[in-house]
Each structure stands twice: as C-alpha cells, then as structure tokens.
Structure 1
Amino acid sequence: MAIDTQPGHRLDKRPGSSGPPQVIRKILLDNGALSALVVMVAVMAILSGNFFTTTNLVNVGVQAAVTAILAFGVTFAIVSGGIDLSVGSVAAFSAVMLGWFAKEGTPLWISVILAILVGTACGLVNGVLISYGKLPPFIATLAMLSAARGLAMVVSDGTPLLLPQGISWVGENLNDYIATPVIIMVLMGLVAGLVLTRTYSGRSMYAIGGNEEAARLSGIRVKRQKLVIYALVGAFAAIAGIVLASRLVSAQPQAATGYELDAIAAVVIGGASLAGGVGKASGTLIGALILAVLRNGLNLLDVSAFWQQVVIGAVIALAVLLDTLRRRA
C-alpha cells in the first residue's frame, strides 16, 4: 500500500471531519459577526415589509456611518490593548470648532482641516497622558471625555453653531441609492484596514496589544506608537463629528453623546478582543451595521426606545460570550 507523505495530506479521514455541515460550521465560527448580520437582515425583512426598500437600506447605511467611523478609530486603541471613551466628545468638539472657524471667516476647506487637527490634538493629549503620564487609558480618555465636551460648550456658548451650506453635501444623499456619509464610511474603513495591515504602526498595534513588554523588547518604541495610535483615534473622531454636523447643518455641543459606547460595542461585536491584539476594520464595519440594522428594524416594528436599549445590551453581551466560546474552541 502506498503511503502518502505529502505535507498537509491526511490519511485518517475521521467520520464528521469534513463535508458540507463542517464547512458551514467553520464559516459560521470564523465569521460570526457576518453570519449574525445576514441572519438579522433576513429576520427583519420577514418581520417588516418596509425593511428591504431602497430608501430604508440607504437610511441604515447613513445611520451606521458616524458610528462606524468612530469605531474604526476605536479599533486602533482596542487592538493595542487600550480604550478610548472620549471619541463622542472629541467628535462634538471638532464639529463645534469647524463651526467656529467658519463663523470667523476662515475658508471652508481650511476650517475642515483645522477641525480634524483639533481632534488629532485631543488624541495626542490622550496619548501623552497614557504613554508619559502613565495613566490607564480608561482614566485618561474619561478625563478627555469631560474636557472636550466642556470645551465644546465654552466655544459655542452652549448653543448650536450654523455651518456653511457648502458642507451640507457631506451629509446628503447623492441619489436614491448612494449617500455621501456611506461613501465616507467605506473610504475610512479602507484607510483603517490599510493602517492595520500595511503599516508599521498597524503591526505595532497588534504587537503592543498582544504583549506590550515583548513588543518593547523587540524594538518597538511603544510610547511613540501610542501617541500615533491615539492621534489616529482623534482624527477619525473629528471626521465622524464633521459628517454628523453636516447632516444637521449645525455643530451642536451636545452632539454624539453616548456614541463612544456604540463605537466600542461595534468593535467588540465585530470580533475584537478587549484584551488587545485582535481586531480588524471589516469586523468593526459589520459590528456597526449590526447595531444600525437592529435599531432600524426595531423602529420599524414600533418597539419602545427603552426596550431597544435592553435588546442592544443583550446583543453586545451575547456577541462577547460567543466570541469567548469560539476562542476556547
């Protein structure tokens, strides 16, 4: 009898070790968030005849856009073993600064760049507090959450600032099938994916999140990379704030309140580990879409907003539990 010595070839095909059921099981385990999204869309389509209309699907994408852009930034922090609770406040502060710059007569495109730089600066402050001040990310970003929201109130005097009409297109639909916020969401997702997979900083995030001390010993300048990580988080938060403000055509100091929790939830639902070292942009996008589909579907079904929070909390807990079980398996 000839013996197959080729690497990777198995002679002991045990019962149940292959075949369609096992392939499907593997796909579901390896792509749990995507599988959940597909099932959720199918269920909502069955329960509500209005769900699968073009208008509603575009609305789902628009609703997911701001959360997804925030979550892409938060992915950097979580992959590196940290967290950022300040992204909602930084988004609002950046948008308010956009309105203030425009109000002072600064050209619109310069105002947008300055607003993004404001968000980046907030992220850098977080990075300095974490890297050099030795503050836990939770505490440092919690402080920024309060400070950025307070600064937004101070600059705006607690009232919304009107934005120039020239930026309203950022929050509008191009046609019945395409919305600008969705395009920006996809572009920012591609940027996040490239940063994570194709750059030195991205690889450093995984190394730091996996084992910070080992990353340091391997030559990674951990403190400097943390500055880069949180600066990126701040920049993404600023872009999300601009998209949100453009939809309202006004910068509101209380905007994006609680969005940081949705962003973190999207990252976790998408398969990232809060322990660090695990996560990807595509998973985060799916997580944001799951939250948007869930909220949209529950609204169509006339479910109370109070019960919606209960359902979303249960989904987050279930996602983390299933991810834990999958990793053990």
Structure 2
Amino acid sequence: MKTEETIAKKQTISHDRDRTGWKEKIPELFSRYGIFLIFLALVALMSVLTPHFFNVYNLINVVKQVSFIGIVAMGVTFVIITKGIDLSSGSLIALVSVIAASFAHPGDYPLFVPLLLGVGVGAFAGLINGTVSAKGMIPPFIATLGMMTAARGLALLYSDGRPIGNLSDSFLFLGSGDLFGIPFPIIVFLFVGLLMHLLLSNTKFGKHTYAIGGNEQAARICGINVDRHLILVYTLAGFLTGISALMLTARISAGQPSMGVMYELDAIAAAVIGGTSLTGGIGTIPGTMIGALIIGVLNNGLDLMNVSSYWQQILKGAIIVTAVLIDSRKNKKA
C-alpha cells in the first residue's frame, strides 16, 4: 500500500511540475514569438474589416512598400542595440537620392556609378555619425540630429531644391522591376534581412554589438574596441540607408531633395515595435522586419478603410508608446 501511495504522490508531483512548467513557458513563448502572433492577428483583423485587403496583389504591394523602410530599420536596429539612436536616416535618403539621380541619366555613366555613389554617400555619412559620437564623446542623439539637418541642407543645395529626373531604364529597374514575378525591392529586402540576421546572430560583430549595448564598460574590459565598433555600426546603418534611397529614387523615377521626411521615425518605430530595446542589448532583425510589416499592414488597411491620415499618425504614435512601455516593464522585471 505504501508503495502505491508513494507512486501516486510522485505522479501527482510530476503532473503539478508539468503544469507549472507550462505556466512558466507560456509567457516566455509569448515574449519570444508574440510579435509574430500580433502580426498574424492584425492581418486577420484587416482581412475581416476590408474585403480588398487579403488578395495577392495587395499583399505584395504592402511588402513592397515596407521594403524601403524595412532596410533602413535594419541598420537602425544595430544602432539601437548599442544603446544609440540615428535621426539622420530620412535626410540621408534625400541626399543619396539627388546625388545618385544626377549620375543615372541614360547614356551618361554605367549603372554601377550611381549605385556606388549612393551607398558610398550613405556609408560616409554613417562614418561621420559614428566618429563624432564615439571619438567626439557627443551623444548619438545630438550627432545624428546635426547630420539630419546638414544632409537635408546639402540635398537642397546640390539639387537647387528641384527634382532630378530622366533616369535610365536600368536604374529604374531597382524600384519597379521584378524577377520571376517578384518585385525587385522585395527580393532585396529579404536578401538584406537574411544577411543582417546572420551578421547579428552568428558572428563576432553581432556578439560585440550586443555586448556594448548590454554593458559598454564591461565590453571595454573584455577587450572590445568599443569606439571602432560603434563607428562600424553607424557606417553600416548609413550603407543600408543608401540602398533604400537608391530603390526609392528608382521607384518615383526622380531624385527628390524632399524625400525621406519622417523615415527616421518610421525606422525607429519598426525596430521598437519589433522588440528592439531602447535601453540597449536587445533586438533581432526578424523582429524588426515584422515590426515594419505591422506598420505597413496598418497603414494599408486603414487606407483601404478610408481612415484619415491624421488618425493614422495618432494610432502609430500610440503603438510606439505602448511598445516602449511594454519594453520598460519587461526590463524592470528582468
């Protein structure tokens, strides 16, 4: 009898442990995959609210629109993980746009010239951001705010405040072409996303990025060249902004000095909604990509329902604040 009672007690304890284990795992699973569930729920909601949302053409259009801001947001993710910020992305898009467009006229230069100039200008601006912030000991907010103002002014000065059109067909392909029926911007978005995910999660560069954001002083003690790494992170962010700017320029068929307004905030929003912590040390590229898709689905669905753009801005702001509050509560519990 005692043996049977002992076995029964052990089974009860084991069962209780399993139940407790599942209770502990559910919050962990939601914390890890919650953003994907929210995205799927939002897609389902928009599909119910507007019959025109869930069709192949519209869904492809959503991803295509998201591609441009999503690529910028990937670079911003690296920056925010290091406990930095980049406010210059939108203005850099305008500067890259007008410079690349001026070298993309039919018959003037080979395609690689505007491409190299575009990503080169973006990377150089990022290099300046990182150097001023790391070596000049200036807060990233101020350093990138200065670049935001200067880059917009340079774009207006370079173009004399006017659009630069008459672009070659090969250049226009970047924004409006397709491969195997898939729009080229989507292919670039997915390819860059895969590369950045591997860079952040599977390389020493990514580990150092997390380490600096988690505890910069400890990273220095461990032998990480923090200043050099921060410069590389901001350079990478500028490089990705250059890629996005080239595709945006090709999409609208002109270099626009007014392009990219508020893009820096959309990029930051995508990263934060995707789980990147403003306190540093936390963030993933897939999360940022989903964050960008959430913004795209929201904008597209509300447009189809004829909701005012003013209300869209208010809703987007509320979502950003909510995401930051959730992140803050998670950090306090940790």
Q: TM-score, normalised by structure 1?
A: 0.92
1:14 Cα deviation (Å)? 4.0
> Map of 1:161-310 to 2, 5 A cutoff?
161-162=164-165, 163-172=167-176, 174=178, 178-310=182-314
Q: Provide the rounded CA distance (Å) in 1 between the counterparts of 2:280 and 2:240.
A: 20
1:69-124 residue CA offsets vs partner (Å, 9 max, x unmatched): 00001011001110100011112211211112235933221220121111100000
Give 2:159's match in structure 1, choosing from 133, 156, 161.
156
Alignment match, 2:38: 36
Give the greater-gyration-radius structure (CA). 2
Alignment match, 2:146: 143
Give 1:99's match in structure 2, choosing from 95, 98, 101.
101
Alignment match, 1:46: 48
Give 1:115's match in structure 2, choosing from 118, 129, 133.
118
1:297 and 1:177, CA in 2 relative to 1: closer, same or farther beyond 3 A?
Answer: farther
Identity across the alignment (%) = 42
1:323 and 1:177, CA in 2 relative to 1: closer, same or farther beyond 3 A?
Answer: farther
Q: Which moved more, 1:47-56 or 1:96-105?
A: 96-105
Does structure 1 conserve the Cα–Cα contact (< 8 Å) formed by 2:79 and 2:85?
A: yes
1:23 Cα deviation (Å)? 5.8
Query: Which structure 2 segments of 5+ residues have no match?
Result: 7-12
Alignment match, 2:89: 87
Does structure 1 conserve the Cα–Cα contact (< 8 Å) formed by 2:210 and 2:282?
A: yes
1:326 and 1:135, CA in 2 relative to 1: closer, same or farther beyond 3 A?
Answer: closer
Query: Which structure 1 segments of 5+ residues have no match?
Result: 4-9
Q: Provide the rounded CA distance (Å) in 2 between the counterparts of 1:135 and 1:169.
A: 40
1:25 Cα deviation (Å)? 5.0
Alignment match, 2:328: 324
Q: Which moved more, 1:163-172 or 1:274-283?
A: 163-172
Q: Secondary structure at the match of 1:13?
A: helix
1:175 Cα deviation (Å)? 7.4
* One-letter code aligned to 1:143: G
Aligned residues: 323
Does structure 2 conserve the Cα–Cα contact (< 8 Å) formed by 1:165 and 1:249?
A: no
Q: Provide the rounded CA distance (Å) in 1 between the counterparts of 2:202 and 2:27.
A: 30
Alignment match, 1:124: 127
Q: Provide the rounded CA distance (Å) in 2 between the counterparts of 1:49 and 1:126.
A: 45
RMSD: 2.3
